A and B are shown apart, each in its own frame.
Chain A
Amino acid sequence: MTADVLPQLTAEVTAAAHPDAAPCRCGTATTTLAHRPDTTVLRHAETVAKAHAPDTDRAALARRLATAARLPEVFLPPLTAAPAAFVDDRPVTLWPYGAPVDPDAPAAAPWEAAAVLLARLHRTTPTPAAPPMRGPAKAALAMARLRATLAASPPHPAAPPVLRAWSALPAWARDEAPMPGTPALCHGDLHLGQLVRHPAPDGPWRLIDVDDLGAGVPGWDLARPASWYACGLLPPDEWTRFLTAYRAAGGPAVPADGDPWAALDVPARALTVQTAARYLTKALAADRPLDEVEQSLIDACARMAPE
């Protein structure tokens, strides 16, 4: 099924890049930006086409696209207001090409720009029709996948701390209750792969990927950097730069000063558990030991919920 997506999506992105219906003579090859079981992203010239997951909620995707379109100061603007096509029953959305963060230079990550974009997004009042931000749902999905893999594997010493840390989270963070507090518009899946410069190569930074966008707890969008910092992976000065820029831009997820952890603790724990679950699932599937970084996530889970 996935094999069918590439040629069809290639035709879609090429046609979108050459809207006059002329055959492609631009001489650029179509490149694959991402090709995972539930997401395929192709680029042709200055146009990008994304095939979303087969089980995507189409009505919610349409609302998420519309939200991105009305926030051009935050999101890369979609080229079409609705999914442009369907390949293999998967919705396809079209976007301008934006230049991503160099994966070989993470130390040059635009932490300030990311923080300012999030603060702008979080200060936007969600419309009543906004779907929920999907962060907790994604965490619950990662746990469901881990449990399914554990059921088919011999016992693993890293599994109990991850399961305990998950159980210790409040129901909302496990997607078992509505999110608390005043809802803010949230990205829902922030990481450095979600930032591009548009126009490439040196336009302003914008967020991409609307799949998890929606109303919810804004602290969720700060929780990945918070988790990386808490696990001893992200240097304190980069965390400080990110948090300071977010506060300076009036972001509502944390108090304007003082200790931010009362607001960040639950989402940062949830994302630490989610990441630990993902890496443990991968390690079990590949029958390989956890590496030192993966173990540092398991260790953090163990400290959250001691035996």
Chain B
Amino acid sequence: MQCPKCHAPMHTYNRNGVQIEQCSGCRGIFLDYGELEALTQLEAQWAKPVPPAPQAYPPAPPAPAWGAPHGGGHHGGHGQHYGGHGHHGHKSWAHMLFSS
């Protein structure tokens, strides 16, 4: 078919099961009946939130009320560990493990 605007030939593409005619001249797009709705539906599926990942860590052991908000235990976080993914490097507090 020809583009209704610039009369250049239109080419058909299949995108996720939706037929789309695009003009080879002005790049305009022609949608058949229901295709706009099909595209909207597809978009909604993409935007749907990812289901939450299963709990990767066992529940943290109890900690006192004065404990670090993102560290010890009952707040459930993984804190500033020397070997973990915290803010502190391995060396930054390891010396404390060995001193009075």
Bound Cα distance A303, B69 (Å): 10
- For window 126-157 of A, CB contacts with B under 8 Å fall at 138
A191-B97, A268-B64 known; A235+B83 contact, CB < 8 A: yes
Bound Cα distance A242, B67 (Å): 18
A109-B97, A189-B100, A236-B60 known; A230+B71 contact, CB < 8 A: yes
Bound Cα distance A268, B94 (Å): 18
Q: Is B62 a contact of A232 with CB atoms below 8 Å?
A: no
Q: Does A173 contact B (CB under 8 A)?
A: no
Bound Cα distance A303, B80 (Å): 18
Q: Is A229 a contact of B94 with CB atoms below 8 Å?
A: no
A231-B72, A233-B93 known; A303+B61 contact, CB < 8 A: no
Q: Is B64 a contact of A236 with CB atoms below 8 Å?
A: no
- Size class of B's contact patch? 35 or more
Q: Does A293 contact B (CB under 8 A)?
A: yes
Query: Closest CB of chain A to B70's CB: distance in Å?
Result: 6
Chain A residues with CB below 8 A from B82, complex form? 106-107, 233
A232-B80, A235-B81 known; A101+B98 contact, CB < 8 A: yes
Q: Does B4 contact A (CB under 8 A)?
A: no
Chain B contact residues: helix, strand, loop or mixed: loop
Chain B residues with CB below 8 A from A292, complex form? 80, 87-88, 92
Q: Does B78 contact A (CB under 8 A)?
A: yes
Query: Closest CB of chain A to B27's CB: distance in Å?
Result: 54
- For window 49-90 of B, CB contacts with A under 8 Å fall at 57, 60-68, 70-73, 77-84, 86-88, 90
Chain A residues with CB below 8 A from B94, complex form? 103, 106
- For window 157-199 of A, CB contacts with B under 8 Å fall at 189, 191-193
Q: Which of B62, B66, B78 has the most CB of A within 10 A?
A: B66
Among the stretches A43-51, A59-67, A71-79, A259-267, the one at the interface with B is A259-267
A230-B67, A232-B68, A299-B68 known; A191+B100 contact, CB < 8 A: yes
User: Which of B72, B73, B88, B98 is in CB contact (< 8 Å) with A293?
Assistant: B88
Q: Which of A101, A103, A138, A229 has the most CB of B within 10 A?
A: A229
Q: Is A191 a contact of B63 with CB atoms below 8 Å?
A: no
Bound Cα distance A191, B94 (Å): 11
Q: Is B93 a contact of A293 with CB atoms below 8 Å?
A: yes
- Size class of A's contact patch? 35 or more
Q: Does A116 contact B (CB under 8 A)?
A: no
A229-B72, A233-B82, A233-B93 known; A269+B98 contact, CB < 8 A: no
Q: Does B96 contact A (CB under 8 A)?
A: yes
Chain A residues with CB below 8 A from B72, complex form? 229-232, 236, 239
Q: Does B99 contact A (CB under 8 A)?
A: yes
Q: Is A229 a contact of B73 with CB atoms below 8 Å?
A: yes
Bound Cα distance A275, B79 (Å): 19
- For window 86-113 of A, CB contacts with B under 8 Å fall at 101, 103, 106-107, 109
Q: Is B88 a contact of A300 with CB atoms below 8 Å?
A: no
User: Which of B57, B71, B83, B99 is in CB contact (< 8 Å) with A232?
Assistant: B71
A101-B98, A233-B96, A235-B78 known; A259+B62 contact, CB < 8 A: yes
Binding site for A on B (CB under 8 A): 57, 60-68, 70-73, 77-84, 86-88, 90, 92-100
Besides A106-B90, A230-B67, 12 other A-B contacts (C-beta < 8 A): A106-B97, A107-B82, A193-B98, A228-B97, A231-B68, A231-B71, A232-B80, A233-B88, A239-B72, A264-B64, A293-B80, A303-B65
Q: Which 7 A-B pairs have the closest CB atoms?
A: A232-B71, A232-B68, A232-B79, A193-B98, A230-B67, A303-B66, A235-B81
Binding site for B on A (CB under 8 A): 101, 103, 106-107, 109, 138, 189, 191-193, 228-236, 239-240, 243, 259-261, 264-265, 268-269, 275, 278, 291-293, 296, 299-300, 303-304
